[in-house]
């Protein structure tokens, strides 16, 4: 089957050939008429046109052959530059040699840049591992000893409150450090997302289990509406973490009592959609895009704890799997975060 380029070339050949034949016929006709239909003149004109046609064809063939040779040379130049082989044309004062020099320089610069990026990524990976390792044990000890301190007999009520505050703040610091580590790993491509077809009910249930205690403490009713057979292509571990961030916000910003969170999953032709609807404080439409930015915090949430990386992490995790997240909200009524995961 012909390509568009081949069809265009055939059309141009037809047009130019037809125009040449028409002009030739007109020329011979005019010459013959002017010479009062002299046979010798007519044959001479025909021979002249035929000679010009042969010369034009030879020129066209030569140009085509030269173009083909140049194209093959350029193709070989690019192949050599990619594989790092020596230059083909040397350092002659020709257009092709100049082009080869530029192509070679481009690939050398790209290779150097890639090596620098790989080195930086390895350095960042090592730094992240060190931070995670070096802070995990001290924080665990602080949480442990503050818990033991709370249980110490004879401790005053004020001292117990201080110990509880130390434990809570240490846990939050541990969560913040882990979130920053995960964010850095995602941004540098260190985390490997393994997405495959899985039922979403297990992922949703796992996410809900991590926020259920906090929701129950605030009197928030959490309901899941999902068919067990609903499937999506996703990494259950990381997708659950993305959903946890959305659910924690739903719990945090919902009313202290009488709140409700509805989680609804349904499969479409291209995506499986998971809606998380809450009865929280809502988000102004002007902030719908901003809330997914790193470290962004709405002015309406200044009285709530947080650093503004949960939604950013959720978006990055979902994007890495070929999905996305969006929000619709009414201030004072609630929000609906819609997660879209590939269904095929």
Give the model confidence (pLDDT) of 55-106 as tens digits: 777 877 887 787 787 778 777 777 777 777 766 666 666 777 777 777 777 8
Cα four-point dihedral sign 206, 207, 213, 215: negative
* The two structure tokens encoding residue 141: 């000890």
Q: Can you tell me which residue has the tokens 């010009």?
A: 52
* 233-244 pLDDT tens trace: 999 989 998 999
pLDDT at residue 188, as a whole number? 66
Taking residues 278-304, what's their average pLDDT? 84
For residue 232, give Cα distances in angstroms to 23, 24, 318, 338. 67, 69, 12, 14
Query: 31: which residues sit within 8 A by CB, 6+ positions away?
Result: 41, 42, 45
How high does pLDDT run on average in the chain? 81
Domain boundaries, the chain: 4-83, 132-187, 196-342
Q: What is the pLDDT of residue 306?
A: 66
Report which DSSP code applies to 85: P
Burial 186-216 (b: 16+ CB within 10 A, else e): beeebbebebeebbbbebbebbbeebeeebe
Highest mean pLDDT among 134-138, 144-148, 218-222: 218-222
From CA 96, how far away is CA 73, in angstroms rounded? 9
In this structure, what token pair is assigned to residue 48? Answer: 């002249």
Instruction: Name beta bridge partners: 339.
Output: 274, 325
The mean pLDDT value for 106-127 works out to: 76
The mean pLDDT of 304-311, rounded to a whole number, is 76
- Asked whether residue 302 carries a pLDDT value surpassing 60, the answer given is yes
Q: What is the signed CA dihedral for 199, 205, 207, 210, rounded to 10 degrees?
A: -160
Verdict on whether the full-model pTM lies above 0.85: no
Can you tell me the mean pLDDT for 219-233? 92
Helix segments in the chain, DSSP class H: 4-34, 39-83, 95-150, 157-187, 200-217, 236-252, 310-320
User: Quick one: average pLDDT of 162-172?
Assistant: 82
- CATH: 2.30.30.40, 3.30.565.10, 2.40.110.20, 3.30.530.20. Which one for 196-342? 3.30.565.10
pLDDT value at position 79? 78
Instruction: Pick 97 or 191 by higher pLDDT.
Output: 97
% of the chain with per-residue pLDDT over 90: 22
Quote the crossing angle between the two packed helices 157-187 and 310-320, to the nearest 10°: 30
| 203 close to 236: Cβ distance less than 8 angstroms | yes
For 11-48, how does the pLDDT look when each residue is reduced to its tens digit (9 = 90+)?
A: 777 777 777 777 777 776 776 677 666 667 667 777 77
pLDDT at 123 (0 to 100) = 73
- Written as six digits, the tokens of 225 are 């509406």
So what's the pLDDT on residue 262?
95
* Residue 112 clears pLDDT 90, i.e. is over it: no
pLDDT value at 189 more than 70: no
- Range 46-55 contact pairs with CB under 8 angstroms and sequence separation of 24 or more: 49/24, 53/20, 53/24
Burial of 46 (0-12, 13-18, 19+ CB in 10 A): middle
SS3 at position 228: coil
- 10-21 burial: b if 16+ Cβ within 10 Å, else e: eeeeeeeeeeee
Q: Report d(CA 55, CA 51) in Å as an integer.
A: 6
Q: What confidence score (pLDDT) does residue 153 get?
A: 83
Residues 30, 37: Cα–Cα separation, whole Å: 9
Report whether pLDDT(1) > 60.
no
Return d(Cα 288, Cα 267) in angstroms, integer: 24
């Amino acid at each position: 089957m012909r390509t568009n380029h081949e069809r265009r070339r055939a059309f141009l050949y037809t047009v130019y050939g037809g125009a040449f034949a028409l002009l030739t016929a007109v020329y011979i006709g005019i010459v013959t008429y002017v010479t009062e239909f002299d046979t010798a003149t007519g044959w001479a004109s025909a021979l002249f046109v035929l000679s010009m046609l042969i010369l034009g064809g030879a020129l066209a063939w030569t140009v085509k052959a030269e173009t083909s040779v140049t194209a093959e040379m350029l193709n070989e130049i690019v192949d050599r530059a990619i594989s790092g082989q020596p230059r083909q044309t040397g350092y002659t004062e020709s257009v092709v040699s100049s082009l080869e020099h530029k192509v070679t320089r481009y690939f050398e610069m790209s290779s150097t840049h890639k090596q620098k990026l790989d080195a930086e990524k390895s350095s960042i990976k090592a730094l992240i591992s060190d931070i995670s390792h070096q802070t995990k044990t001290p924080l665990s000890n602080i949480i442990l000893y503050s818990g033991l301190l709370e249980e110490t007999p004879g401790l005053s009520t004020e001292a117990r409150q201080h110990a509880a505050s130390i434990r809570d703040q240490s846990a939050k610091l541990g969560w913040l450090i882990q979130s920053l580590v995960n964010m850095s790993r995602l941004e540098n491509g260190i985390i490997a997302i393994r997405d495959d077809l899985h039922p979403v009910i297990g992922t949703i249930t796992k996410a809900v289990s991590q926020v259920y205690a906090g929701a129950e403490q605030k009197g928030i009713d959490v309901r899941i509406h999902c068919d067990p057979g609903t499937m999506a292509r996703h990494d259950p571990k990381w997708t659950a973490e993305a959903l946890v961030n959305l659910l924690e916000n739903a719990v945090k910003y919902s009313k202290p009592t009488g709140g409700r969170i509805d989680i609804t999953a349904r499969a479409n032709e291209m995506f499986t959609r998971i809606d998380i609807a809450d009865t929280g404080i809502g988000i102004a439409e002007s902030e719908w895009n901003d809330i997914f930015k790193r470290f962004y915090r709405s002015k309406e949430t200044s009285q709530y704890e947080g650093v503004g990386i949960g939604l950013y992490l959720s978006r990055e995790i979902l994007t890495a799997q070929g999905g996305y997240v969006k929000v619709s909200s009414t201030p004072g009524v609630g929000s609906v975060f819609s997660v879209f995961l590939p269904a095929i």
